[in-house]
Structure 1
Amino acid sequence: MAAPPPRAGGCPIHHDAAPAGLGPTGCPVSAGAAGFDPFENGYQQDPPEYVRWAREQEPIFYSPRLGYWVVTRYEAIKAIFRDNLTFSPSIALEKITPTGPEANAVLEQYGYAMNRTLVNEDEPAHMPRRRILMEPFTPEHLKHHEPMVRRLAREYVDRFIDDGRADLVDQMLWEVPLTVALHFLGVPEEDMDTLRRYSIAHTVNTWGRPKPEEQVAVAHAVGNFWQYAGKVLEKMRQAPDQPGWMRYGIRKQQEHPEVVTDSYLHSMMMAGIVAAHETTANATANAIKLLLQHPEAWREICEDPGLIPSAVEECLRHNGSVAAWRRLVTRDTRIEGVDIPAGSKLLIVTSSANHDDRHFADADFFDIRRENASDHLTFGYGSHQCMGKNLARMEMQIFLQELTRRLPHMRLADQRFTYVPNTSFRGPEHLWVEWDPARNPERRDAALLQAQPPVRIGEPSRHAIARGVVVESATPVADGIVKLRLVSPDGRALPRWTPGSHIDVECGEPERSRQYSLCGDPADAGALEIAVLHEPQGRGGSSWIHGNVRVGDKLRIRGPRNHFRMDETAARLILVAGGIGITPIAAMARRARELGMDYELHYSGRSRAAMAFLDELAALHGSRLRVYVSEEGRRNDLAALLGQPREGWKICACGPRRMLEALEAHCAAWPDDALRIEHFESNLPQLDPAKEHAFEVELKDSGITVTVPADRTVLAALRAANIDVPSDCEEGLCGSCEVRVLAGQVDHRDMVLTRAEREANDRMMTCCSRACGGKLVLEL
């Protein structure tokens, strides 16, 4: 058989076979592309599964039925969000199914003039408006809404708690987010049923395929919705000082009339009512459905409410309420190697991106502890990322907190799930659940109703992912040092780890976590081992562990994470440990031995009694172990060991600050990446505004610039601007808050990056590092 002719312009379809004719660029349309119909039940039920074939074989294709190019992979979709000049959002609210003249005439008689909003506006108009209207969406301001959301959630659960059966959508998940949305916007809480009908009509009108006989009725509902929004807006103008985001916009219009216009406010009023509640209602219904379909995950969040923030992120990733968005190509471009001409319309299937194995390991697996779940694109990305994302997160957390606390025995009822047919927004129209009221926990414990669980606002789940472990053994291994062996409560395997990894242990409370290096055998999947030195003058973590932790106790940990990796390709590996710094070094030495590497292990301590694992290390490493005991008059001669740089040698060290500073001095002439250090104490001083200067941080992907005052960290300034950045220790030790740097010189103050990594100047730790000059440009 002859070889197929070459593919043109990156087209993934062989040009010797055109199963369904040609697309707009002259390339064949594949059978899968020809059959793609987002209004079919398959797409409505499970969009990522419906386009799996495309994600795996034809990541961008032209849909003749829709008249759009369809994009399905994570990196391509994120790049589209990042470049809002090439990929204009202007069609995001355009009718995806053109309506007939009769329906159009109906809309015209209502004066319907839906125009630009934060969702579909191009630059340069978009960012000035977004900046002006952003403040009420920041975490600091959203906290004021938390008591109301919790009160509403409890009141609605009260209504059906003793019934044993409920449709959560009809009886809670639609009305509460709508009430919250109206409260946030400052809209009267009247006509809730009417607003629900209006909202559904708006969704069908914009993203659906109403039948010809339905179009007129939909148009009447949308027209009434438009007029309702206008009337409410006019009423608000009579009392602009009252609470609510729309009144905030009216006040800002008085300051910036050329930016915040009348037509803009009218369009935002209507769009805001839909955006602020429908996506949250759908997302919560999807999340509860998903969790109850995975009873083990439901049980875990019932037993450990601290997992709820991370469960919310994984639910948003795995089964979010936004299936797809749209963009207009403004200039000839290439996507996934395929030439796409200017004027093309794109359907970017974000729900498919969230199931892309290239970015999310085992993406179809539902894992409420997934570390990168908050990378999902359900809220979009970049300058048009959903401003209400943290309001939605807060509501979802509170709903799950109340339901897991009061109805942990809840289960899905037998039912068939239906969805309003459209390309972009999805959630079950009904969600029937059942339970036995006799088993309601509050019947036995009335104090249950008084609990006020914490809510995380404005932070991704990554640093909040905790797992419960049990202390299987607590063994003294040296004076003042106890080794804890931690196992899973249900006997299952724990996450795999590599030498140099650490875990974060919550020492009595979630807000007080401390990092401890893993010192056991990485091949032992049944347990994680740490060794903790009692430091009475430390930050309190070790004292808490030594004073409180006993065999059989349950602890909460996060990780493992590794920012201290050994180079397994080194020609010779020099491992240097001082005191409790032996913990990560011991695991590295074990790995080097297994690999048959050329290595040396140098271990220093005050006294043999204070040095952990000496006998074990001697048995494993024999003559490769060199021990230096101060009270015996023997010290490690670092000048002799490292005075001469050696080709291909790598040094890994952990120990007291003085030892590490001496190592850095002796390795000054070595290649920049030869020495890698793990600090277990921070030398980060308190931020002194008198010694700092303010600077700007430009967020390239978000299109905004944030000022970092002299008295705030970059991390704090980003959070205040509603930008998600994970963090944990906030002392420059753990590396959680790392971001990519595109321009500007960084004043590095962390204890994570090597000298070579600092000189590369392409990343920084936002909790402590600052700008040398007046500006940094970050990939955020």
Structure 2
Amino acid sequence: MAHGDETPLRSPTGCPISPRAAAFRPFERPYQEDPAAALAWARAEEPVFYAPDIGYWVVTRHEDVKAVFRDNITFSPRIALEKITPPTEEVQAILKRYGYNLQRTMVNEDEPDHMERRRLLMADFLPERLARHEPMVRRLTRAHMDRFIDRGHADLVAEIFRDVPLKVALHFLGVAEEDADELTRFAAAHTLNTWGRPTPEEQREIAENVGRFWQKANAILDRMIADPSGEGWMYETVRQHFRHPDIVPESYMRSMMMAILVAAHETTTLATANAFRLLLERRDAWEELCANPGLIPSAVEECLRMGGSIIAWRRIATREAEVGGVTIPEGGRLLLVMASANRDESHWENPEELDIFRDNAVEHLSFGYGAHQCMGKNIARMEMRVFLDEFTRRLPHMRLKPGQSFEGLCNIAFRGPKSLLVEWDPAENPERREPALRERAVSFPIGAPVKENILRRVVIVEAREEAEGVKSFLLADPRGRPLPGWSAGAHVDLVSGGFRRKYSLCSAPGEEGRWRIAILREAEGRGGSRHFCDALSEGAEVQVAGPRNHFRLDESAARYRLIAGGIGITPILAMADRLKVLGRDYTLHYCGPSRARMAFLDRVLADHGPRAQLHVSDEGTRLDLAGEFAAVTEGEQVYACGPARMLDALRELARGWPEGALHFEYFTTGAATLDPAREHAFEAVLADSGLVVEVAADETLYAALRRAGIDIQSDCGEGLCGSCEARVVEGEIDHRDRVLSRAERARGDRMMTCCSRAKGRRIVLGL
């Protein structure tokens, strides 16, 4: 794009601004309706770009957004509540008349102040404290539903989703309910004042409401200061102020009082409305929850991924830094679009599909990440779960009213409809036939869902021998619906007979909507493969988790070399299939002891014959790794899966290759179960919070962190996938994973918490 048709627009670093970046308008309809879709081009082409319309660097991919959130020193949160539309002098005068003086709160203050205050004020957010609020949530939900359940229609936002979270928030904070109506109106004004682009006339009206909001919040706080004996989080904040006035000063309390009155309910209201809209628009998912309420926790996480209420947040660079390969200057403002990151194709399988069986949906960034992650996340989860439990049980036949629009406040940070109209036939209400249904409930543990419980039922529609000792199974949805798509390198967990094992997906062309896996029967293994191969047959119903992909194919390379050893052909064959479709240059090396023991051999030769090279030991054609792969040129990518000996040799050869040319997937780490007699206990100090976690000799660091309530993800549990990685600030690491290269291990700045340990008695983590 040109300025004056000649001079190209340039970013603050002097780089040209692309036409699409120059045209990005977050206050216009595409972004307002669906920010992730509006930024799909950016995730694919320009994941970090400068938007001159707002003067921000826009960050769109999951990895980059997470990295910025993680480093709250380089990327300060101090502009999180800065008005994105500068106020006019008239507006400033209006706010001054009300004494408005919003300063630092927990969401926009730097270290060390932020963590000192957070530690003092965290107790009420702990799971055991939050559980006591669930009966109130359920009681209010049932009472509100009683008002309209026999009517046959309702506006869920106006009649329940706004009121219940607000009353719960006020109860949690210790604020009287008679202030609820005013606070709801003021919250909308605060949102538009901070994250909107109102006209000068609108700014004046908003400023009046923000000023009244400030006065109202401070009047409530004054009552608490006069008598700090009440129950609630703000009362506890006042008490901490009297005990630690240097850490919790009065100016902080006054700013926090206003900010928390918005954060504690508005986000939950909008997230709940978004979730119900998503589920009711996808009837299969809604009906699955009605039939299986145990899936509600995972459905909440998936709805937060697809329709979280906080779509973007802001940071400012305290020094020149790099994000996603783009230089951000000191003072550069960043708009972190979590809604886009939550649908990043490079992180999620089928990111555009609402999949309530997605067992890594909890990796969404709707609550932020790192030291500033939302403290109230588990309150929101609990409320949304109660709403879904009550509605799916009492109104399973509820549907969206046709023809309605879903409009919200025009702003860059929050998303959710002002109304959500639903209807149903009261004659079909289940509790008319079974009155006791109203009192039933499913109570879920406070916190993130248990990943191991998120399982999808599938049926085996074909079981066949693929080679000596190798059996493949074609899996399908029991109701005939297509199973979710997947990308080359993806895997699922197969669960049956008390065993849970991971197998790569290798469906052939024409098997779309169904999943094929292949299992090598290991006579001397741990029993899982023997059970699956011997006990499972066509017609059997099993459970699976996934799909997930930790062995993702980079589709942008100039040339590919694929290497499969034995059963390692499964992910490699899927990659060859994909590269063939893309028309890319590739060769496939397939190694095995004999043709009789090489699974999918006929398919390899039929589909990839000209590009396939067989290396069969009993035919004397073993692959000469050192000779064949002595040199790998720039632009080539090597993908390998097979026995550890083969992969170890490749990793050694790769020391002379271009950086990042080798990608591999081990079958197992070979790590033995922890033996307390041979291990030692150690302590893990969490740098962000100062928390000290004791790790026993018979437990993993990952288990100890989860026990302490730290949100950290894990998939394989064996050091194969890298999902449980933690940054190491200090301490020597006993690396036991198969993820990090020698150079990465030598740097000593990250470790896999599921298997690796501290060499000494202490390690400091960037958590």
Alpha-carbon distance between aligned partners in 2 of 1:768 and 1:123, rounded to the nearest angstrom: 31
Alpha-carbon distance between aligned partners in 1 of 2:541 and 2:248, rounded to the nearest angstrom: 57
2:167·2:177 contact (CA, 8 Å) conserved in 1?
Answer: yes
CA drift of 1:166 comes to 0.9
2:228·2:239 contact (CA, 8 Å) conserved in 1?
Answer: no
Alpha-carbon distance between aligned partners in 1 of 2:136 and 2:165, rounded to the nearest angstrom: 11
CA drift of 1:280 comes to 1.0
Is 2:238 aligned against 1:259? no
CA drift of 1:377 comes to 3.6
Deviation string for 1:443-463 (max 9, x for gaps)?
455665565446465447877
Alpha-carbon distance between aligned partners in 2 of 1:716 and 1:331, rounded to the nearest angstrom: 36
Alpha-carbon distance between aligned partners in 2 of 1:381 and 1:680, rounded to the nearest angstrom: 29
Q: Select which of 192, 195, 213 maps to 2:183.
A: 195
Deviation string for 1:677-736 (max 9, x for gaps)?
5249973136579832223344xxxx4444231326422443356543223565667765
Map of 2:113 onto structure 1: 125
Alpha-carbon distance change, 575 to 251 in structure 1, aligned in 2, over 3 angstroms: same
Alpha-carbon distance between aligned partners in 2 of 1:426 and 1:674, rounded to the nearest angstrom: 39
CA drift of 1:755 comes to 8.4
Map of 1:207 onto structure 2: 195
Map of 1:708 onto structure 2: 693
1:165·1:435 contact (CA, 8 Å) conserved in 2?
Answer: yes
Is 2:133 aligned against 1:167? no
Deviation string for 1:320-355 (max 9, x for gaps)?
212333344555677788887665655544434545
Alpha-carbon distance between aligned partners in 1 of 2:331 and 2:587, rounded to the nearest angstrom: 59
Is 2:674 aligned against 1:685? yes
1:119·1:384 contact (CA, 8 Å) conserved in 2?
Answer: yes
The AA in structure 1 aligned to 2:373 is Q
The AA in structure 2 aligned to 1:59 is F
Deviation string for 1:434-491 (max 9, x for gaps)?
1222333444556655654464654478776543311335679999999754222325
2:669·2:738 contact (CA, 8 Å) conserved in 1?
Answer: no
Q: State the SS of the aligned residue for 1:418.
A: coil
CA drift of 1:281 comes to 0.7
Map of 1:237 onto structure 2: 228
Alpha-carbon distance between aligned partners in 1 of 2:267 and 2:187, rounded to the nearest angstrom: 11
CA drift of 1:415 comes to 1.8
Alpha-carbon distance change, 665 to 721 in structure 1, aligned in 2, over 3 angstroms: closer
Q: How many residues align?
A: 726
CA drift of 1:128 comes to 1.8
Deviation string for 1:643-676 (max 9, x for gaps)?
999875999766xxxxx8x999999999999997
Alpha-carbon distance between aligned partners in 2 of 1:256 and 1:26, rounded to the nearest angstrom: 47
Q: Select which of 403, 407, 411 maps to 1:418.
A: 407
Deviation string for 1:83-120 (max 9, x for gaps)?
44454332322344455667656655554432211111
Alpha-carbon distance between aligned partners in 1 of 2:552 and 2:20, rounded to the nearest angstrom: 46
CA drift of 1:430 comes to 0.9
Q: State the SS of the aligned residue for 1:59.
A: strand
Map of 2:609 onto structure 1: none
Q: Select which of 326, 332, 342 maps to 2:314.
A: 326
The AA in structure 2 aligned to 1:727 is S
Is 2:385 aligned against 1:397? yes
Is 2:487 aligned against 1:504? no
CA drift of 1:172 comes to 1.3
The AA in structure 2 aligned to 1:468 is R
Alignment of 1:451-462 (within 5 A): 452-453=441-442, 455=444, 457-459=446-448
Alpha-carbon distance change, 530 to 438 in structure 1, aligned in 2, over 3 angstroms: farther
Across the aligned residues of Structure 1 and Structure 2, the Cα RMSD in angstroms comes to 5.5
Alpha-carbon distance between aligned partners in 2 of 1:682 and 1:731, rounded to the nearest angstrom: 7
Alpha-carbon distance between aligned partners in 1 of 2:65 and 2:600, rounded to the nearest angstrom: 53
Map of 1:94 onto structure 2: 82
Alpha-carbon distance change, 691 to 462 in structure 1, aligned in 2, over 3 angstroms: closer
Map of 1:637 onto structure 2: none
The AA in structure 2 aligned to 1:88 is S
Alpha-carbon distance between aligned partners in 1 of 2:88 and 2:18, rounded to the nearest angstrom: 30
Alpha-carbon distance change, 355 to 127 in structure 1, aligned in 2, over 3 angstroms: same
CA drift of 1:431 comes to 0.7
The AA in structure 2 aligned to 1:270 is M
Alpha-carbon distance between aligned partners in 2 of 1:373 and 1:417, rounded to the nearest angstrom: 24
Alpha-carbon distance between aligned partners in 2 of 1:435 and 1:43, rounded to the nearest angstrom: 32
Alpha-carbon distance between aligned partners in 2 of 1:29 and 1:751, rounded to the nearest angstrom: 41
Map of 2:712 onto structure 1: 725
CA drift of 1:433 comes to 0.8
Alpha-carbon distance between aligned partners in 2 of 1:727 and 1:338, rounded to the nearest angstrom: 29
Alpha-carbon distance change, 556 to 222 in structure 1, aligned in 2, over 3 angstroms: same
The AA in structure 2 aligned to 1:770 is R
Map of 1:6 onto structure 2: none
2:470·2:518 contact (CA, 8 Å) conserved in 1?
Answer: no
Alpha-carbon distance change, 602 to 143 in structure 1, aligned in 2, over 3 angstroms: farther
Q: State the SS of the aligned residue for 1:238.
A: coil
Alignment of 1:199-598 (within 5 A): 199-208=187-196, 209=198, 211=202, 214-215=205-206, 217-234=208-225, 237-239=228-230, 242=231, 244-253=232-241, 255-328=243-316, 330=318, 347-354=335-342, 366-368=354-356, 373-413=361-401, 414-444=403-433, 449=438, 452-453=441-442, 455=444, 457-459=446-448, 466-472=455-461, 485-489=474-478, 490-492=480-482, 495-496=485-486, 503-507=492-496, 514-517=500-503, 524-525=511-512, 526-529=514-517, 531=519, 551-553=539-541, 555-559=543-547, 561=549, 575=565
Map of 1:69 onto structure 2: 56
Alpha-carbon distance between aligned partners in 1 of 2:5 and 2:747, rounded to the nearest angstrom: 48
Among all aligned residue pairs of Structure 1 and Structure 2, give the percentage whose two residues are the same amino acid. 42
Q: State the SS of the aligned residue for 1:709.
A: strand
Alpha-carbon distance between aligned partners in 2 of 1:443 and 1:541, rounded to the nearest angstrom: 49
Q: Report the TM-score when normalising by structure 2.
A: 0.75
Q: Note the residue ranges of structure 1 that are not aligned, 5 or more in a row.
A: 1-11, 577-582, 628-640, 655-659
Map of 1:181 onto structure 2: 169
Alpha-carbon distance between aligned partners in 1 of 2:237 and 2:101, rounded to the nearest angstrom: 19
Alpha-carbon distance between aligned partners in 1 of 2:331 and 2:723, rounded to the nearest angstrom: 41
2:91·2:204 contact (CA, 8 Å) conserved in 1?
Answer: no
1:285·1:427 contact (CA, 8 Å) conserved in 2?
Answer: yes
Deviation string for 1:40-64 (max 9, x for gaps)?
555543444556677767921222x
The AA in structure 2 aligned to 1:214 is E
CA drift of 1:168 comes to 0.7
1:536·1:543 contact (CA, 8 Å) conserved in 2?
Answer: no
Deviation string for 1:172-211 (max 9, x for gaps)?
1111211222233233444322322232233233334262
Map of 1:5 onto structure 2: none
Alpha-carbon distance between aligned partners in 1 of 2:505 and 2:344, rounded to the nearest angstrom: 34
CA drift of 1:274 comes to 1.1
Q: State the SS of the aligned residue for 2:751.
A: strand
For the pair shown, which has the larger CA radius of gyration, 1 or 2? 1
CA drift of 1:285 comes to 0.8
Alpha-carbon distance change, 714 to 395 in structure 1, aligned in 2, over 3 angstroms: farther
Alpha-carbon distance between aligned partners in 1 of 2:328 and 2:519, rounded to the nearest angstrom: 57
Alpha-carbon distance change, 563 to 97 in structure 1, aligned in 2, over 3 angstroms: closer
The AA in structure 2 aligned to 1:488 is D
Q: Report the TM-score when normalising by structure 1.
A: 0.74
Q: State the SS of the aligned residue for 1:191.
A: helix
Alpha-carbon distance change, 90 to 666 in structure 1, aligned in 2, over 3 angstroms: closer
2:504·2:571 contact (CA, 8 Å) conserved in 1?
Answer: yes
Alpha-carbon distance change, 120 to 229 in structure 1, aligned in 2, over 3 angstroms: farther
